[in-house]
Structure 1
Amino acid sequence: MRATPTALPDVIIIEPQFFGDARGFFFESFNARRFAQATGSEAGFVQDTHARAPQGVLRGLHAVGGQGCLMRATAGEIWAVAVDLRRPSATCGHWVGVTLSVNNRRQLWIPPGFAHGHVVLSEFAEVVEQMTAAEAPLDVRCIRWDDPTLAIDWPFDGQPLQSAEDAAGLDLAQALRD
């Protein structure tokens, strides 16, 4: 497994070792010992989610207090975003974006204290997320994808397709106050 730090401390791109031949392929998508060595985090995943969506769907930006997320695309291609919401952090309010696809097999580790989301770039995509804490409805915040303070450079033009909850997301300043 190769771990590559991003511009945000603790957000890490994970690339598993891949083996392929005429029979197909094999890779270890998660190994607790190697993950802990690479990230310095004992993940302790308690919940997995699997979503499929067509091109142009944007999910997030979601923040669940105390929840870390390991995200990967199992079909298609997405652009995943992590936003630092840790108030004492020098990078609070900063973001990083990473392309995850079935072809590049990259995973993105987003530790607790960050919001995350993704937009589907391919005709469709399937995304699997492993969470370190169960979602508690009273502990979920959604931040606007187009918050002007964040100024995320999303790789698409126009308006994304979103849920009503995501479309009604908070501005970053309001999310940091709550």
Structure 2
Amino acid sequence: MIVSGDRGCGVTLLRPRRFGDARGWFMETYSEASALAAGIDARFVQDNQSFSAFEGTVRGLHYQRPPHAQAKLVRCVRGSIMDYAVDIRRGSPTYGHHVAAKLTAEGGEQLFVPVGFAHAFITLEPDVEVAYKVTDVYAPDCDGGIVWNDSTIGIDWPLPETGAVLSDKDKVLPTLAEFDSPFEYDGRPLEPLPTL
């Protein structure tokens, strides 16, 4: 497994090895031992998958509050996305900063988003499927988010000419300035993600 980012610093970009022959390829999509070697000490309890029919579909910026806070291991299984993690840990010197990585079904890249980060992605083509592992079950009473186009976060979304496709819920999320973070800074600032 190829790893980008400071081991154990938080947000980590992974590319599991693929073994190919004339039939196609095989890839181990998750290995606890490989994750631990990459500094990811997480116990995943649920797998989720989403389908987005339209290019420019934005899902996020989402998080789950304690006691059901979730870390995520995200991968694109059909098509491609730009995936984002925003630091929302109170007291962090990188609070409100974000990192982004392009995840493709072809490349098999994965992004680990730890607790204390809001997560979002935008589809770069139609008919995209995204799968992700989470460390806690979905808890509607702990569900939260920040509006996707908050100017203080400053994500440069690769929008198509038709604009963003959003859920009604995501259109009315609060701004970062309106957000009272339940997440504490752990002493490790958000680091840039090197290119794999």
**1:2-151 pair list within 5 angstroms:** 2-5=2-5, 9-39=9-39, 41-54=40-53, 55-65=55-65, 66-151=69-154
Unaligned regions of 5+ residues in structure 2, if any? 183-196
Q: Report the TM-score when normalising by structure 1.
A: 0.93
Q: Which amino acid aligns with 2:44?
A: F
2:177 to 162, 173, 176: 173
Mapped contact 2:60–2:148 kept (Cα < 8 A): yes
Unaligned regions of 5+ residues in structure 1, if any? none
**Counterparts of 1:56 and 1:93 in 2: how far apart (Å)?**
23
* 1:168 CA displacement: 0.8
**Counterparts of 2:5 and 2:152 in 1: how far apart (Å)?**
24
Q: Which amino acid aligns with 1:146?
A: N
| Count of residues in correspondence between the two structures | 175
* 1:62 CA displacement: 0.2
Bigger mean CA offset, 108-117 vs 51-60: 51-60
* 1:136 CA displacement: 1.4
**Counterparts of 1:82 and 1:177 in 2: how far apart (Å)?**
15
Q: Which has the higher strand share?
A: 1
Mapped contact 2:75–2:110 kept (Cα < 8 A): yes
Q: Which amino acid aligns with 1:91?
A: T
**Partner of 2:168 in structure 1?**
164
* 1:118 CA displacement: 0.5
Q: Deviations over 1:57-80 (max 9, x none)?
A: 110110112210000000000111
Fraction of identical pairs, as percent: 36
* Pairwise CA RMSD: 1.4
Mapped contact 1:85–1:176 kept (Cα < 8 A): no
Mapped contact 1:18–1:25 kept (Cα < 8 A): yes
Q: Report the TM-score when normalising by structure 2.
A: 0.85
Q: Deviations over 1:123-144 (max 9, x none)?
A: 2210001000112112111111
Runs of 4 or more off by more than 6 Å in structure 1?
none
Say which structure, 1 or 2, has more relative contact order (CA 8 Å, 6+ apart).
Answer: 2
